Chain A
Amino acid sequence: GQQLNQSPQSMFIQEGEDVSMNCTSSSIFNTWLWYKQDPGEGPVLLIALYKAGELTSNGRLTAQFGITRKDSFLNISASIPSDVGIYFCAGHLTYNQGGKLIFGQGTELSVKP
Chain B
Amino acid sequence: SAVISQKPSRDICQRGTSLTIQCQVDSQVTMMFWYRQQPGQSLTLIATANQGSEATYESGFVIDKFPISRPNLTFSTLTVSNMSPEDSSIYLCSVGSYEQYFGPGTRLTVT
Q: How far is the CB of B27 from chain A (nearest CB, A)?
A: 16
Please tell me which one of the listed residues B48, B99, B103, B104 contacts residue A100 in the complex, with CB atoms under 8 A apart.
Answer: B48
Count A-B pairs with CB separation below 8 Å: 58
B interface residues (Cβ-Cβ under 8 A, vs A): 1, 4, 31, 33, 41-45, 48, 58-59, 92, 94, 96-105, 107
Please tell me which one of the listed residues A40, A92, A103 contacts residue B44 in the complex, with CB atoms under 8 A apart.
Answer: A103
Of the candidate stretches A12-20, A43-51, A59-67, A75-83, the one touching chain B is A43-51
Q: How far is the CB of A69 from chain B (nearest CB, A)?
A: 15
Closest B residue, CB atoms, query A50: B98
Asked if residues A42 and B59 are in contact (CB atoms below 8 Å), the reply is: no
User: Given A50-B98, A92-B98, A99-B31, A42–B42 Cβ distance below 8 Å?
Assistant: no
Known A33-B99, A40-B104, A103-B42; further 5 A-B contacts with Cβ < 8 A: A41-B104, A42-B94, A43-B102, A44-B102, A88-B42
Q: Mark A18-45, 1 if CB is under 8 A from B, else 0.
A: 0000000000000101010000111111
The interface centre, meaning the residue of B1, B42, B44, B103 with most chain A CB atoms within 10 A of its CB, is B42
> Could you say which residues of chain B place their CB within 8 Å of the CB of A98?
31, 96-98
User: Given A1-B59, A98-B31, A99-B48, A45–B101 Cβ distance below 8 Å?
Assistant: yes
Q: How far is the CB of B105 from chain A (nearest CB, A)?
A: 5
Please tell me which one of the listed residues B48, B96, B103 contacts residue A42 in the complex, with CB atoms under 8 A apart.
Answer: B103
> Could you say which residues of chain A place their CB within 8 Å of the CB of B31?
98-99
> Could you say which residues of chain B place their CB within 8 Å of the CB of A97?
97
Q: List 21 A-B contacts (CB under 8 A).
A: A33-B99, A40-B105, A40-B107, A41-B104, A41-B105, A42-B94, A42-B105, A43-B43, A43-B92, A45-B1, A45-B100, A48-B99, A90-B100, A98-B98, A99-B31, A100-B45, A101-B33, A101-B45, A101-B100, A103-B44, A105-B42
Please tell me which one of the listed residues B43, B58, B101 contacts residue A103 in the complex, with CB atoms under 8 A apart.
Answer: B43
Q: How far is the CB of B14 from chain A (nearest CB, A)?
A: 23
Asked if residues B99 and A42 are in contact (CB atoms below 8 Å), the reply is: no
